[in-house]
Structure 1
């Protein structure tokens, strides 16, 4: 009898230990972030406050979007991330491959505070946009005293020899800018010929660069007066002492989503959802705008005037934002890259 009690007690202890280990594991959330100053801001606005609020540990793995997608694919049968962040549209690819889990609106307490575009893909597994970069026009305020008002202004003879374009084949923002030019020129995602024809028409007096540091270099040297690119990079240039501002053309701007997503097949869904919900609250959305000039996706955010002037905010401005279908872009990108390369060949 005592022996049986001893065995029973030992089993109980073992079971309690296992339960305790499981509980401990569930109190650790594994996420990715993008490194550098971005990750520092991420910790300040979301990660550390979440740990303090819920008494949990958030393990951060530095991994950019493409690397994160590769890891999710490799770990499909045994995922190691609980929550993943994407920029540039890869969340749509991940969701289509079943790597991300759908979220119900009622599972997010801040759902009703979000702009509709920011939560449009929840049922498909695409997590909410906790902030967004907006692609519009950057311009040199000394060379161009009045802000350009249209994407068509890229063809204005007043800017000849000072238009800067970003390679659409190698840069996500460059591709989104080209697609917006195509839309304004009368094209669609089924036909990008109008956009390419517009690009070809301004090529003789334009410069094409591949990466963002080249944009800063060209503005610093006075070569660039106007360029399609992201509003947050205008802030980067301003901090570098350059007279550059961002403007949203009358035809609108392009959303470059930054999303927080629920990984499929993980045991601690409830804690992961709390983190996602915490990421989209107004305080965080405001913080991203103040720190890096990303546009808020939470409609209730109130910004200081100086910050509001440098981002896309408010119902009227949000209504002018365009989202291009990420699946269509992914499917057509190889063909578009070839068409772009032929178009810019000189």
Structure 2
């Protein structure tokens, strides 16, 4: 009898311990963020408010999209992330591979306010876009008497010597190049028109850089006037005291979707969905726009005229956004980079 009684007590203690562990797990989320200024804004706009509202703890791993996706793939049998963020379209591949879970819109209180294009894949497991980096033209408002209006303005021989192009190994650089290719008559099956245009620009004195800080250096020190790049980086240049402004091209605005995704086969998906929901909120998206000049996908977001001028804002502003097929880009990336490298080497 004593043995059975002791076993019963031990069993009860074990169950209590397991329950306590489960409760602790339920109150902890592991996510990735992108580091630097982005991660600072992420904490301010979403992570800290979420922790205060829910009492949960958010563990942040600094990992850019490609690295986070590689980790997610490697951990498929025992995933470690609860929520994963991407900016390069990895959610499309991840959903197909079963790494991401479909999202029930009934679990998200803010989903009705999100533009349709930003939530079209949630039933497939493609997380909704909670911010967008709009790719257009950054220009020096003092050096250029008129703002560029068309992507074809990049081809003006008068500005070639003051033009900066980002290497297509850079995500923003890839999108800018694909848009240039598009206006020159190319498409994702044929990038030669874009490569021919780049060769002409380089012959005219254009500069190629690999990283965002190099663009700032070109504008600050080397006489750059114009660069096809993202709205958030135009804001970075302006904060550094440079007369940089951002404008969308008339033919369309390539969009880098920043998505928040529900990882499959994790035990605390209810808490993860609450985190995703907060990312979609009006207040979070207004915060991201104010802090980094990202385009909100929540139709109810209200921005000041100054902030709105630096993003694609409102129903009319987002009409010009376009998204090149991320799966096609990924499948061709290596071959395109090889062709690009041969072009810029001459």
CA-to-aligned-CA distance 1:123-155 (integer Å, 9 cap, x gap): 222211111111101111111121111000011
Asked if residue 262 in structure 1 is aligned to residue 262 in structure 2, the reply is yes
Q: Measure the CA separation in 1 of the matches of 2:212 and 2:120.
A: 29
**Is 1:50 matched with 2:50?**
yes
- TM-score for both structures, normalised by structure 2: 0.95
After the TM superposition, which of the residue ranges 282-291 and 30-39 deviates more from structure 2? Answer: 30-39
Gaps of 5+ in 2: none
Aligned-partner Cα distance in 2 for 1:48–1:84 = 17
Give the match's secondary structure for 2:146: coil
Q: Tell which deviates more after alignment, 37-46 or 228-237.
A: 37-46
Per-residue CA deviations over 1:199-222 (Å, capped at 9, x if unaligned) read: 223221111111111111111125
Deviations 1:184-240 (A, max 9, x none): 122211111222222223221111111111111111125211110011101111111
Instruction: Determine if contact 2:160/2:202 at 8 Å carries over to the other structure.
Output: no
Q: Is the 8 A contact 2:177 2:194 kept in 1?
A: yes
1:38 lines up with 2:38 in the alignment: yes
Q: CA RMSD in A?
A: 1.5
Which residues in structure 2 correspond to 1:163-174 (within 5 Å)?
163-168=163-168, 170-174=169-173
CA contact (8 A) 2:137 2:248 kept: yes
C-alpha deviation, 1:3, in angstroms:
4.5
- In structure 1, distance between residues paired with 2:41 and 2:163: 33
Structure 1 counterpart of 2:102: 102
CA deviation map 1:256-314 (0-9, x unaligned):
11111111110111111111011110100000000111111111100011111111111
Shift of residue 343, structure 1, vs aligned partner: 2.4
What is the DSSP-based 3-state SS (H/G/I as helix, E as strand, rest coil) of the residue aligned with 1:331?
helix
Aligned to 1:79: 79
Any idea what SS the aligned residue of 1:157 has?
coil
Q: Deviations over 1:58-117 (max 9, x none)?
A: 122222222212221221111111111112222223223221112122222111111122
Match for residue 24 of structure 1?
24
* Aligned 1:295-310 pairs, distance under 5 A: 295-310=295-310
1:123 alignment partner in structure 2: 123
Unaligned runs of 5+ in 1: none
4+ residue runs over 6 A deviation: none
